[in-house]
Amino acid sequence: MSRIISYGNGQQLTLDLPDEQFVADVGNAPSTPLSDPGAALLAAVTDPLDFPPLSSAVVPGDRVAIAVDTQLPRVVDLVAGVVHVLVSAGAQIPDITVLYSTADGRDQQLVQRYPELQHLVHDPDDHEQMCYLAASESGRPVYFNRALTDADVVVPLGVLCPSQALGYAGINSGLYPAFTDAATQHRFRRAAAGFGDQQQFQEVAPSARLEWSAEREVRAQELSATLNQLRQQSCQEADEATWLLGVLFSVQVVRGGGDEVLQVIAGDQRAVTLEGERLCQQVWSPEVPGRAAMVIASMTDHATTTWDQVARAIHASLPLVEDDGTLVICSSQLPAPGPALARLAGSQEHELTADQLMESASQDNLAAVALSYARERCRVYLVGQTGADDFADSDTITIAAADEIERLAQTHASCTLVANADQTVPHIKFPA
C-alpha cells in the first residue's frame, strides 16, 4: 500500500511497502488546529490559570516588552492578540516593544502589520543590548536584553515542548537563554549536547540484536534518570533567571504541524507548565512498539528550517532505528552548513568528540553532534536543498533526493514514519 510523506513546504515522497512492514506512523497531530489563534489567546489571557487577567497588569504609561519565541507559529495573529489586550488596558502603542530572538523574516511581517510598534531583533553578541540583572544563586551573572530589563511588563510568547525534547529548558527557555548573552547561550547548548551522550542514545531503547533483560532495563532507567537530572538543572537555571527578571505570568502555545496552533495556555508559570506538559505528552510523545530498519523523519516548515530543528529530529528519531539501519531526515530547505558541520563533514569516523564539535558557538553545533552520534549507529540521509557542494566528499553527511529514498525503502525489512520530527518525541514501549 502506498503511503505519502509530506515534508517541507508542500514536498512529498511516496513509499510503496506492504502494511506489515510499517512498525509505526507517528507525529501527525491528532487535534484540529485553531482557526483563530488570536481569539484563543484573548480567551486565555482574559481567564488565565491561577493568575489575574493580563489586562490588570498594565496601566497607562507602562513600557511593555513582548518576547517572541523563535518557534512560535502564527506569529502575526498571536502578537496582534497581545497588542489588542495591552492597548485596551491603556498601554500606548509606542511603548510596546516586540522582541525577536532571531531574524527569520517573521519580524518583517509584524513590521508591516504594526509599523508604529518598536521592533527589535536580539543579538547575543551585541554587548550594548545586554543588561546585567543579578547574580544567580550559583554565582553566575544573569544578563538579559535591555528591552526586557527596562520594561515594566514582560509578556513571554513561548512554545511548549515535551520535557524530553533536545535543548528544551522548560517554559522559560523562550526568555532564558533565548534573550541572554552569547556565552550563556553557548553554555546551554553544551549542556544540551551532553544530553545526547553516545551511550545514552544507544542504550535507552533495547537493541534489536539482544534479548531484553532486567539488567538492560535497569541500565535504561538509570540513563533516563541522568537525562532528567540534566534537563532539570537547565530548567531550574532558566526559572531562576526569569524570576529575577520579575516575570511570573506566561503565554504558551502548543504547536500543531507546520504553522498551526493547537492550544494557547496562559497564567501562572507553574500551572502553565503542568497543563502544558500534560498536553504535549498527549500530542507529541507517542508510543512506538519497537525499532525499525529504516526511520523516515519529516519536518514541515512553519518559517525556515534551522539546524537546531534537524538536531531535534535526529535526537528524537535515532532511538527508533535498528543498529546499522537507516535514518532519513526530510526538510525542504536546509540552511547552509556552519563551521561545526563543515568540520564534521571533513572528518573520519571517531575522529571528533562532541566537546570538539561544541567548541565554536555556531548555530549548527548541536546538529553536528547529533549527526556524529547517529553515524556511529546507522546511515543518515538528509533530504532537502542545501549547500550540497559542501558535503560532496563527506562520508558523514549524505544529501539525497526523494526518489532515492523511495528506492532505498524497498531494500529495508521494516520502516517507521515520524512526522513533525522536530517537535515529536516518540518513546519505545518496553516489554513488560
Helix (H, G, I), strand (E, B) or coil at 316: helix
Q: Which of 211-225, 254-268, 310-324 has the lowest mean pLDDT?
A: 211-225
Torsion of CA 351, 355, 361, 367, to 10 degrees: 60
Average pLDDT for 291-312: 86
Taking only Cα atoms into account, the Rg of the chain, rounded to an integer number of angstroms, comes to 22
Q: What is the pairing mode between strands 2-7 and 379-385?
A: unpaired
Inform me whether the pLDDT recorded for 83 exceeds 80: yes
Residue with cell 502555545: 253
Domains identified in the chain and CATH numbers: 2-27+286-428 (3.90.226.30), 37-282 (3.40.50.11440)
Average pLDDT for 90-115: 87
For residue 106, name the pLDDT band (cuts at 50, 70, 90): confident
CB atoms within 10 A of CB 12: 12
Q: Distance between CA 299 and CA 427 in Å, rounded?
A: 18
Tell me the pTM: 0.88
How much is the pLDDT for 202? 39
Q: Which residues pair with 250 in a beta bridge?
A: 267
Inform me whether the pLDDT recorded for 101 exceeds 60: yes
Length of the chain equals: 432
DSSP 94-138: GGEEEEESS-SSHHHHHHHH-TTSEEEE--TT-GGGEEEEEE-TT
Average pLDDT for 346-375: 79
How much is the pLDDT for 352? 73
Counts for the chain of helices (H) and strands (E), in that order: 13, 18
Higher pLDDT, 200 or 225: 225
For residue 211, name the pLDDT band (cuts at 50, 70, 90): very low
How much is the pLDDT for 198? 38
How much is the pLDDT for 139? 94
Indicate the helix (H) or strand (E) that contains 86: helix 75-88
Give percent of the chain above pLDDT 90. 56
Residues 252-299 pLDDT 10s: 999 998 889 999 999 999 999 999 999 999 999 999 999 999 999 999
Higher pLDDT, 205 or 130: 130
Q: Of 71-75, 86-90, 345-349, which has the strongest mean pLDDT? A: 86-90
How much is the pLDDT for 203? 38
* Cα angle 237, 98, 261; round to 5: 75
How much is the pLDDT for 317? 95
Q: Which of 47-51, 118-122, 268-272, 335-339 has the lowest mean pLDDT?
A: 335-339
For residue 326, name the pLDDT band (cuts at 50, 70, 90): very high
How much is the pLDDT for 399? 80
For residue 313, name the pLDDT band (cuts at 50, 70, 90): very high
Grid coordinates representing 401 are: 533526493
Inform me whether the pLDDT recorded for 80 exceeds 50: yes
Inform me whether the pLDDT recorded for 60 exceeds 70: yes
Q: Which of 43-57, 350-364, 401-415 has the lowest mean pLDDT?
A: 350-364
Inform me whether the pLDDT recorded for 386 exceeds 90: no
Inform me whether the pLDDT recorded for 214 exceeds 60: no
Inform me whether the pLDDT recorded for 92 exceeds 90: yes
Inform me whether the pLDDT recorded for 366 exceeds 60: yes
For residue 217, name the pLDDT band (cuts at 50, 70, 90): low
Q: Distance between CA 203 and CA 198 in Å, rounded?
A: 9
What's the mean pLDDT when you consider all of the chain? Answer: 86
